[in-house]
Amino acid sequence: MAYTGKLKKFMDGKGFGFIENSDGSGDVFVHFSQLTNGSSDDMIVGTEMSFDIEEDARSGKTKATNVTLKDGGSGGYGGGYDSGKSKGKGKGKRDRYDPY
- Read off the pLDDT of residues 12-21 as tens digits, 9 standing for 90 and up: 899 999 999 9
Left if phi > 0, otherwise alpha if psi is -120 to 50, otherwise beta: which for 17?
beta
HSE at residue 85, side-chain half, CA atoms within 13 A, is 8
Left if phi > 0, otherwise alpha if psi is -120 to 50, otherwise beta: which for 82?
left
The answer to whether the pTM exceeds 0.75 is no
CB 5 within 8 A of CB 67: no
CATH top class, domain 3-73: mainly beta
Band of residue 100 on the pLDDT scale cut at 50, 70, 90: low
